[in-house]
Amino acid sequence: MLRRILQPLWVLLALIFLVEAWLWDHLEPIVARAVAWIPFRAFKVWLAERVDTLSPAMTLIVFIVPVIPLFPLKLIGLWLLMHEYWVSAVLTIIFAKFLGVGVAAFVFDVTRPKLLQMAWFEKMYDWVMSLRTKARAIVDPIILRIREAMGADRGGWSSRLMRMIQHFRKRVREAR
């Protein structure tokens, strides 16, 4: 009973986790392309050379520090929200999120070999990867059901969506 009640929460958490993972996977190449486009390629080589000379613990600092300057940007987004500049606030927060994940992915790509030399970091990394697998196992069947419902041969996607909404509304009314 409790599992059934908590299932939507687990699905939501799994979706959030997978969105973060998707952003990580897809923003790192974009940041890498931007780094290649802007004359930061030399910076990446320079950073990789410097990381090679650092201890794993110092490498952790190199991994964490670039994300810290983004915190004020998120505070600006919150200030904009408090003053009801909704569009600016949302755009600022989304920009900070994308930039933060992209920069973290880029720096992690450079620092990963050193970071994985620390046993606790490797365990945490393996744990996060296993969470990602579990989240995928939770969400994949739901995505498959949605795709099957949307792919039925009964008209276009909009008519299928309307039928799904009507079916949902009918089930809610019957449950009362």
Q: What confidence tens digit (pLDDT) does each residue in 11-46 have?
A: 777 777 777 777 767 666 776 666 666 666 677 778
Q: For residue 21, count other CB atoms closer than 10 A to its CB.
A: 17
Taking 80 as the threshold, does the pLDDT of residue 83 lie above it?
yes
Instruction: Tell me the C-alpha to C-alpha distance, in Å, between residue 22 and each of 12, 39, 51, 110, 167.
Output: 15, 27, 26, 19, 31
In 3D, which of 54, 67, 77 has the Cα closest to residue 105? 67
| Residues shown for the chain | 176
Looking from the CA of 152 toward its CB, the CA atoms found within 13 Å total: 13
Taking the whole predicted model, whether its pTM rises above 0.85 is answered as no
Taking 70 as the threshold, does the pLDDT of residue 151 lie above it?
no
Higher per-residue confidence, 165 vs 152: 165
Higher per-residue confidence, 114 vs 173: 114
In 3D, which of 7, 14, 50 has the Cα closest to residue 136? 14
Contact 121, 115 (CB under 8 A): yes
Taking 70 as the threshold, does the pLDDT of residue 102 lie above it?
yes
What is the DSSP code string of 63-84?
HHGGGTTHHHHHHHHHHHHHTT
pLDDT of residue 36: 63
Residue boundaries of the structural domains of the chain? 8-175
For the chain, how long is the longest CA-to-CA vector?
66
Q: What confidence tens digit (pLDDT) does each residue in 127-139 have?
A: 888 888 888 787 7
Taking 70 as the threshold, does the pLDDT of residue 157 lie above it?
no
Contact 150, 160 (CB under 8 A): yes
Taking 60 as the threshold, does the pLDDT of residue 159 lie above it?
yes
Contact 103, 31 (CB under 8 A): yes
